[in-house]
Chain A
Amino acid sequence: MTDLVKKNGLNKEKLTQYKLYNGLKVVGKDWRLYLLLLPVLIWYLLWMYKPMAGLLISFKNYQPNLGVWGSDWVGFTNFKNLINGPYSTQFWRAFRSTFLVSLYGLIFGFPIPIFLALFFSEIGNKFYRNLTQTFTYLPHFLSEVTITGLVLTLLYHGEVNTGVIANLLFQLNIVPEGTKLFQDAAYFRPLYIITGIWKEAGYSSIVYFASIMGISPVLYEAVKVSGGNKLQEIRYVTFPGMAPTLTIMIILRIGQMLSIGYERIILLYNENTYDTADVLSSFVFRIGLEQGNSALGASAGMFNALIGFALVMGANFISRQISETSLW
């Protein structure tokens, strides 16, 4: 830039004008390109970025009739109320649940798609593999309402009917006879996590399967020639080959630890199971939308989002340090 100033004898003001003119010329020549950019730009501004300004209500005593801008500033009062006020018990309970549900989800849910992908890659019969893949991906495409509807009916324990799965659980003595699974806080988390695995495990295996398929067969030959068995093949070829994908998926999972999908929770939980079921997002929904305390709900939501954001950044940073794989 300084070169340009020296060469053309331009002063700073002229340089700005020159750059602006040049910029307009570039845009003008490519006006079609910039026209195509407009829909996405406007959409994101209106529906993603404009609401971010609405986060200001976390610092306000929000009155619907005064709007976001008209309401009074209250500083950190809402946050104090959450952390140490009348809502703190519920808030911290939700906070703890969010972590626990995510953690259990990670421990039980994360490895299954990897194993599925490994097994899929062993099925030589292409027709059978495609068939089983089609079946296992299917639940991913069903709605949360359908899924929870199925869960509720399969596990329902009423006076007239017993859901077929509840019945099975009773007969196998996994659950004491007559337990009302949806009214008992002890069963919510297992229920939620198993449902999640059922819905997503098959589908999540796609990305691992693709990375296994991308490994050169020569490497497997090499292990075989040197007398390695199947487990050694997996240990020395498959896992290293999947490593970048594994890293990225684990970063994504850690980054999403605090953003548990609220739909299924809200559809499945009830007052009897709040103790184990209520997570931050369902707390935000209940306090903010059902009870109309928008400012408090928004504060809890922001708290949630900021920690989530820090988690993504942190996980990404660590992964870049140890493995040179990162999301960006």
Chain B
Amino acid sequence: MERLSKSEIIFKTLAHILISVFAVLALYPVIYAVSASISGKIAYETNKVILFPVDMNFQVYKLIFDDKGFWISYINTLFYTVFGTAWSMFISVTGAYVLTKKRLLFRKQLNLFVVFTMWFNAGIIPMYLNYVNMNVNNRWGIIVAFGVQAFNIILMRNYFSAIPESIEEAALVDGVNEFQLLWRIFIPMSKASMATVTLFYATSRWNGYFWARILLTDPMELPLQVYMRILVENYQAMIDDMGDLLPYAADSYVYAILVCSIVPVLIIYPYIQKYFAKGVNMGGVKG
């Protein structure tokens, strides 16, 4: 162990303290939400819940799980996430792959064509009119019309172009065609970046709210985020009308809904987390 100078010891201690504080602050609302959702009404309303649950019970979860609308929206979100992510990945992977090829005609222009949308886009209103015009106010429309991001394409493109050309040449000599090259060599060789971008797309699909709320009219097609927001909006009215009559704290119900939306993220995230620092780093922010 090398000896540390005084300034280093001070700095290290400070770093540990501040990072710990920040980590606790980052996590606190999530932990609190879990605790508040399973605490008893009286304990909650008398502000006894600070971190851990008090008078634990799970009645609000029973309420949520008995609610058909919740399950419909949950399944809808799963549907949008799975198919939407697959679609976004399909476009991004093929696009990124092609854009790395030096022999591609108009490569520079095509790259600019994709990157330009990071700096300038039509804006909400023309996009809205286009979506209405193209009839995307349904399940498949939401999947097809949304969720491809230039940043992700660039990230993958940079990753692909780091794969040595000699590998590609060797494969081509062996008679492998372009499709096989992408599928059997480029994709397996960039697992970290694939995992990272999949996570990005999946979370943005899972979290998608705005356009779904504006475009979807059929209540059977609403995703969880929209359903959740409607519940939160009704929250005030709920308390004012019958807060005293409810056997549980109205907040507990809202917190429980929020917890349900976080759980899948919490489950998947640690597995992919190890990839993305590397994935983002490799992708860099070069335009």
Q: A interface vs B, CB < 8 Å?
A: 23, 26-27, 30, 32-34, 36-37, 39-41, 43-44, 46-48, 50-55, 57, 67-68, 115-116, 118-120, 122-124, 131-139, 141-146, 148-150, 152-154, 156, 158-164, 167, 198, 201-202, 206-207, 209-210, 224, 229-231, 248-249, 252, 255, 262-263, 266-267, 281, 284-285, 288-289, 294, 297-298, 301-302, 304-306, 308-309, 312, 327-328
> Which B65-100 residues have a C-beta within 8 angstroms of A?
90-92, 94-95, 97-98
Contacts of A266 in B (CB 8 A): 210
Q: B interface vs A, CB < 8 Å?
A: 5-8, 10-12, 14-16, 18-20, 22-27, 29-30, 32-33, 36, 44-45, 47, 49-50, 90-92, 94-95, 97-98, 101, 103-105, 110, 113-115, 117, 119-130, 133-134, 145-146, 148, 153, 177-179, 182, 203, 206-210, 214, 225-226, 228-229, 232, 235-236, 239-240, 243-244, 249-251, 254-255, 257-258, 261-262, 265-266, 269-270, 273, 276-277, 280-281, 285-287
Contacts of B124 in A (CB 8 A): 262, 281, 284-285, 288-289, 297, 301
Q: Which residue of B lies closest to A231 (CB)?
A: B7
Interchain Cβ contacts under 8 Å between A and B, 20 examples: A32-B177, A36-B95, A40-B95, A40-B98, A43-B148, A47-B145, A51-B122, A119-B14, A136-B26, A138-B26, A138-B27, A142-B262, A153-B254, A153-B255, A161-B250, A201-B22, A206-B281, A249-B285, A252-B285, A262-B124
- Closest chain-B Cβ to A78's Cβ sits at a distance in Å of 11
- Closest chain-A Cβ to B226's Cβ sits at a distance in Å of 8
Cβ contact of B114, chosen from A44, A46, A161, cutoff 8 A: A44
Known: A116-B22, A132-B23, A230-B5. 8 other contacts (CB 8 A): A37-B94, A39-B91, A150-B30, A160-B239, A210-B281, A267-B229, A289-B124, A312-B119
**Bound-complex Cα distance A32 to B117 (A):** 26
Q: Which residue of B lies closest to A249 (CB)?
A: B285
Contacts of B269 in A (CB 8 A): 138, 141
Contacts of B257 in A (CB 8 A): 149
Question: B94 to A202, Cβ gap below 8 A?
Answer: no
- Chain B: interface secondary structure? helix
Given A47-B130, A143-B207, A252-B285, A164-B50 contact (CB < 8 Å): yes
Contacts of A285 in B (CB 8 A): 124
Given A39-B90, A118-B15, A210-B281, A150-B29 contact (CB < 8 Å): yes
Question: B232 to A152, Cβ gap below 8 A?
Answer: yes
Contacts of B255 in A (CB 8 A): 153
Question: A141 to B26, Cβ gap below 8 A?
Answer: no
**Bound-complex Cα distance A39 to B251 (A):** 46
**Bound-complex Cα distance A287 to B287 (A):** 34
Residue among A40, A144, A160, A308 with most chain B CB within 10 A: A40
Q: Which residue of A lies closest to B27 (CB)?
A: A135
**Bound-complex Cα distance A156 to B238 (A):** 14
Question: B125 to A298, Cβ gap below 8 A?
Answer: yes
Question: A135 to B229, Cβ gap below 8 A?
Answer: no
Question: A161 to B262, Cβ gap below 8 A?
Answer: no
Top 6 nearest A-B pairs (CB, nearest first) are A40-B95, A301-B123, A54-B126, A143-B207, A51-B122, A32-B178
Q: Which residue of B lies closest to A52 (CB)?
A: B122
Question: B228 to A229, Cβ gap below 8 A?
Answer: no
Contacts of B244 in A (CB 8 A): 160
Given A36-B182, A229-B5, A327-B280 contact (CB < 8 Å): no
- Closest chain-B Cβ to A116's Cβ sits at a distance in Å of 7
Question: B179 to A32, Cβ gap below 8 A?
Answer: yes
Given A123-B19, A138-B30, A297-B125, A48-B239 contact (CB < 8 Å): no
Contacts of A262 in B (CB 8 A): 124, 210
- Closest chain-A Cβ to B211's Cβ sits at a distance in Å of 10
**Bound-complex Cα distance A47 to B136 (A):** 11
Question: B210 to A263, Cβ gap below 8 A?
Answer: yes
Contacts of A32 in B (CB 8 A): 177-179
Question: B277 to A40, Cβ gap below 8 A?
Answer: no
**Bound-complex Cα distance A136 to B273 (A):** 12
- Closest chain-B Cβ to A200's Cβ sits at a distance in Å of 11
Q: Which residue of A lies closest to B92 (CB)?
A: A40
**Bound-complex Cα distance A137 to B16 (A):** 17
